[in-house]
Amino acid sequence: MNPPRKSHTKVVVPLLLVLLAMSGLTAASVPLYRVFCKATGFGGTTQTASAAPGTVSDKWVWVRFNADVSPDLPWAFEPEQHEMRVHPGEQTLAVFRATNKSDHVITGTATYNVQPDAAGLYFDKVQCFCFTQQTLQPGETAELPVTFFVDPAMMSDRNAKDIAAITLSYTFFQAKVRSPSASPSEAQVGLLPSEKHPSEKESSR
């Protein structure tokens, strides 16, 4: 005699519910992880702000800059200044330089973090080339600015107040999907106002 089908249903339905719940958690895990990193500075995740707080500490912090490029991206990438000393709360501009060494247009995207990890919660970017994809023409060199400040609240955090130096690191990768705004005619996205595309320089002569 075959067992009643209801017994199978009692087993299968809970299993399906568990699978659905696990699928939902997997789908939500990435955005939740990003929110967690943003809120805590976990892993050296930096913050964003519309402007510096206006309060400037009389203490000093060294900010050092590191630039790397993925092996599959034929760009040269480096900071114009390898380190600078800043007051926490002071809005500061740093500039990186990227050159497309290939013979074709390439769009890149940059990932970033700071070290030590505890500084992530207090390192705020106001503007940054890393917020958008960057498109470079063959042989083009672009100056890529980042405006930032170190939150003076770091001086009151017992886990971070003794940090004397912060390293801001960027790594450029070739963008898999080109953003609609990153067309060749808009290759200057994120560039300093003084930097012009080669075609603009020729037409202005």
Q: What one-character DSSP code corresponds to residue 69?
A: E
Q: Is the pLDDT of residue 160 over 70?
A: yes
The predicted-structure confidence for 5-64, as pLDDT tens digits, reads as follows 445 555 555 666 666 655 554 443 433 434 434 444 445 587 999 999 989 999 999 999
Mean pLDDT of the chain: 79
Structure tokens at 2: 């075959």
Name the amino acid, one letter, at 193: P
- Whole-angstrom distance, CA of residue 196 vs CA of residue 90: 29
The predicted-structure confidence for 85-100, as pLDDT tens digits, reads as follows 999 999 999 999 999 9
Give the pLDDT confidence score for residue 182 in this predicted structure: 42
Q: Is the pLDDT of residue 81 over 50?
A: yes
Name the amino acid, one letter, at 17: L
- Mean pLDDT is lowest, of 22-26, 63-67, 167-171, for 22-26
Give the pLDDT confidence score for residue 181 in this predicted structure: 47
* Mean pLDDT value of segment 60-83: 97
Name the amino acid, one letter, at 66: N
Q: What one-character DSSP code corresponds to residue 130?
A: G
The predicted-structure confidence for 182-194, as pLDDT tens digits, reads as follows 433 333 334 443 3
Let me know: does 178 contact 134? Beta carbons within 8 Å. Answer: no
* Mean pLDDT value of segment 154-177: 94
Q: Is the pLDDT of residue 178 over 70?
A: no
Give the pLDDT confidence score for residue 45 in this predicted structure: 80
Structure tokens at 27: 């789908």
**What is the dihedral sign for C-alpha 127, 130, 132, 137?**
positive
Give the pLDDT confidence score for residue 101 in this predicted structure: 98
* Percent of the chain with pLDDT strictly greater than 70: 64
Give the pLDDT confidence score for residue 99 in this predicted structure: 98
Q: Is the pLDDT of residue 104 over 80?
A: yes
Q: How far is CA 17 from the centre of its chain?
A: 37
Give the pLDDT confidence score for residue 176 in this predicted structure: 84
CATH of domain 47-192: 2.60.370.10
- Whole-angstrom distance, CA of residue 121 vs CA of residue 143: 27
